[in-house]
Amino acid sequence: KRVEMADGAWLLRHHALDVSSTLLHAVDQISSAAPFRHMVTPGGFSMSVAMTNCGPFGWVTDRRGYRYQTTDPESGKPWPAMPQSFQSLAESAARDAGYPDFIPNACLINRYEPGAKMSLHQDKDEKDFTNPIVSVSLGLPATFQFGGMNRTDPVRKHVLSHGDVVVWGGPSRLFFHGIMPLKDGIHDAAGRARINLTFRHAAV
């Protein structure tokens, strides 16, 4: 079933459940080539979420700013290829939410350990906001917060669980959002962590 969480944001509950172990296995392979790391924001803070990427473009941050790049700054090598299982899942979720033409060329992989959080922000580093963002939650549940176009708009909360997929299109593509500090726990398949796959079309 599809639930509209916000204007243009579709929650596809359990959409990734049957491929979740394939996805987690692929995350292990990707992170053995491009390890999870705590990137530094332009303001000089180390992020509590550990990140890596796969696909043609990867999102990075350092003292110079936020950007997409084709190579891993730690190794200088291209990011690991996007597995077919990732691509198929992202495209099928986008199709179910009304975006039959979505082709991701960037996958940011976020790893939250207990206490890790992501403060309220907008995703504005892409060139074309007509493309949706597809987000896949794996492992421990997290409380997602989303507001509106303005930082001060009221915030709503939603728990995202293992296998849930959200397609953020339309007006919600640019809504402020964040993740509350992860509660401690142990997940059968992912251990003491939440993994989020964020699929984007980064460059035109």
User: What does the binding site for ligand MD5 look like in residue numbers (CB under 6 A)?
Assistant: 9, 108, 110, 118, 123, 133, 135, 146, 168, 172-173, 175, 177, 179, 196, 198
Pick one of ligand MD5, Fe ion, none as the site partner of residue 182 (Cβ within 5 to 8 A by kind). Answer: none
Pick one of ligand MD5, Fe ion, none as the site partner of residue 15 (Cβ within 5 to 8 A by kind). Answer: none
Pick one of Fe ion, ligand MD5, none as the site partner of residue 172 (Cβ within 5 to 8 A by kind). Answer: ligand MD5
Q: What are the start-end ranges of the E strands in 15-105?
A: 50-54, 58-62, 65-69
Q: How far is the CB of 124 from ligand MD5 (least distance, A)?
A: 10
Look up residue 170 and give its two tokens. 């339309």
Could you give the CA distance from residue 177 to residue 110 in angstroms, rounded to a whole number?
15
Burial of 124 (C-beta count, 10 Å sphere; 0-12/13-18/19+)? exposed
Pick one of Fe ion, ligand MD5, none as the site partner of residue 196 (Cβ within 5 to 8 A by kind). Answer: ligand MD5
Choice from 72, 123, 126, 164 touching Fe ion (CB under 5 A) = 123
Stretch 29-48 residues interacting with Fe ion (CB under 5 A): none
**Interface stretch with Fe ion, choices 21-29, 49-57, 117-125, 166-174 (CB under 5 A):** 117-125
Query: Cβ closer to ligand MD5: 76 or 98?
Result: 98
Q: How far is the CB of 118 from Fe ion (least distance, A)?
A: 7
Could you give the CA distance from residue 95 to residue 74 in angstroms, rounded to a whole number?
35
Question: Beta strand pairing status for 9-12 and 2-6?
Answer: antiparallel
Sheet holding 2-6, edge to edge: 2-6, 9-12, 165-168, 133-139, 194-200, 106-112, 50-54
Look up residue 137 and give its two tokens. 């939650």
Query: Cβ closer to ligand MD5: 177 or 201?
Result: 177
Using an 8 Å Cβ cutoff, are 16 and 163 in contact?
yes
Give strand pairing partners of 168.
Answer: 9, 133
Pick one of Fe ion, ligand MD5, none as the site partner of residue 168 (Cβ within 5 to 8 A by kind). Answer: ligand MD5
Pick one of ligand MD5, Fe ion, none as the site partner of residue 145 (Cβ within 5 to 8 A by kind). Answer: none
Query: Residue 182 in 3-state DSSP?
Result: coil
Query: Residue 154 in 3-state DSSP?
Result: coil
For Fe ion, the binding residues (CB under 5 A) are 123
